[in-house]
């Protein structure tokens, strides 16, 4: 089976426990146009988002970061193989643009909210097995530890980053407990809020 078909089947199956992508624009939204380095003329593969936006990429770079993509690219292609094969993925162009920035060195990742950070982790680590991006992603979470520690704790718990979970939980000792109710309305990545609050109570009580 061509890997252009294999990746589509594999990714949709792996998406069962991952939040639905939110990067697809609405009907009247302007079409997203990828900029450098996702429009490279010497690219040898295209990732096509769920809203039909093409990202022109390099297999060597994707394979180094993602073991899933690396394996997919080794699957033999039918003859004649396309010069620049296209792989359709489940993510919208906005999500894919944010996630792919972690693949290319020298490209500044853009993470504007904690929800985006949780979504990027789901795509890169849980789905593409790109664990090498975790240190960079953690640096983005650290920015919220002081200003929004409870929300940062929810994300750290959901992503299973124990080290930052403990650091953010200790920081929340400075907050009023009623803040717990407020954060549940702001952070959509918390799939198990009851367990999160219980864990928060245990950690802060011994911290």
Phi/psi for 86 (5° steps) reads -110, 130
User: Rounded to whole angstroms, what are the CA distances from 174 to 28, 56, 130, 158, 180?
Assistant: 44, 47, 35, 22, 12
What's the pLDDT tens digit per position in 143-198? 998 888 888 888 888 888 989 988 888 887 877 655 555 554 455 444 444 444 44
What pLDDT is stored for residue 158 in this prediction? 85
95 in any annotated domain = yes
Model pLDDT, residue 182: 53
Three-state helix/strand/coil letters over the chain = CCHHHHHHHHHHHHHHHCCCCCCCCCCCCCCCCCCCCCECCCCCEEEECCCCCEEEECHHHHHHHCHHHHHHCCCCCCCCCCCCCEEECCCCHHHHHHHHCCCCCCCCCCCCCHHHHHHHHHHHHHHCCCHHHHHHHHHHHHCCCCCCHHHHHHHHHHHCCHHHHHHHHHHHHHCCCCHHHHHCCCCCCCCCHHHHHHHHHHHHHHC
Residue 98 lies in a domain: yes
Q: Give me the pLDDT at residue 174, please.
A: 78
* pLDDT given for residue 79 in this prediction: 67
What lies within 8 Å, CB to CB, of 177 at 6+ separation is none
Q: Give the model's pLDDT for residue 110.
A: 87
pTM of the model: 0.68
Q: 28-32, 120-124, 128-132, 138-142: which range is least confident on average?
A: 28-32
Question: Does residue 205 sit within a domain?
Answer: no
* CA dist., res. 180 & res. 106, Å (int): 38
Within-domain flag for 164:
no
pLDDT at 22 over 50: no
185 is a domain residue:
no
What pLDDT, on a 0 to 100 scale, did the predictor assign at position 201? 46
Owning domain of residue 2 = 1-110
Q: What's the CA angle centered on 32, arms 22 and 72, to 5 degrees?
A: 70
Residue 18 belongs to a domain: yes
| Residue 150 domain-assigned (yes or no) | no
Q: What is the pLDDT of residue 16?
A: 38
The pLDDT of residue 8 is 42
Number of domains composing the chain = 1
Residue 36's CATH number: 3.30.710
Q: pLDDT tens across 37-93, in order?
A: 999 989 999 999 999 999 999 999 999 999 998 888 887 776 666 678 888 899 999
In a domain, 8, yes or no: yes
């Amino acid at each position: 089976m061509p890997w252009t078909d294999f990746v589509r089947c594999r990714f949709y199956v792996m998406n069962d426990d991952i939040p639905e992508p939110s990067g697809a624009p609405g009907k009247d939204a302007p079409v997203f146009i990828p900029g450098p380095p996702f429009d490279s003329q010497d690219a040898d593969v295209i990732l096509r988002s769920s809203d039909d936006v093409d990202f022109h990429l390099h297999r060597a770079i994707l394979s180094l970061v993602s073991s899933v993509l690396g394996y997919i690219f080794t699957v033999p292609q039918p003859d004649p193989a396309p010069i620049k094969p296209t792989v359709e993925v489940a993510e919208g162009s906005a999500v894919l643009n944010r996630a792919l920035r972690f693949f290319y060195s020298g490209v500044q990742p853009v993470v504007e909210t904690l929800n985006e950070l949780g979504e990027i982790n789901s795509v890169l680590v849980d789905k593409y097995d790109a664990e090498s991006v975790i240190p960079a992603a953690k640096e983005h979470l650290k920015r919220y530890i002081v200003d929004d520690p409870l929300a940062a704790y929810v994300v750290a718990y959901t992503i299973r980053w124990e080290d930052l979970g403990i650091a953010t939980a200790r920081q929340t000792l400075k907050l009023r407990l009623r803040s717990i109710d407020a954060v549940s309305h702001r952070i959509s990545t918390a799939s198990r809020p009851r367990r999160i609050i219980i864990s928060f109570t245990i950690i802060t009580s011994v911290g």
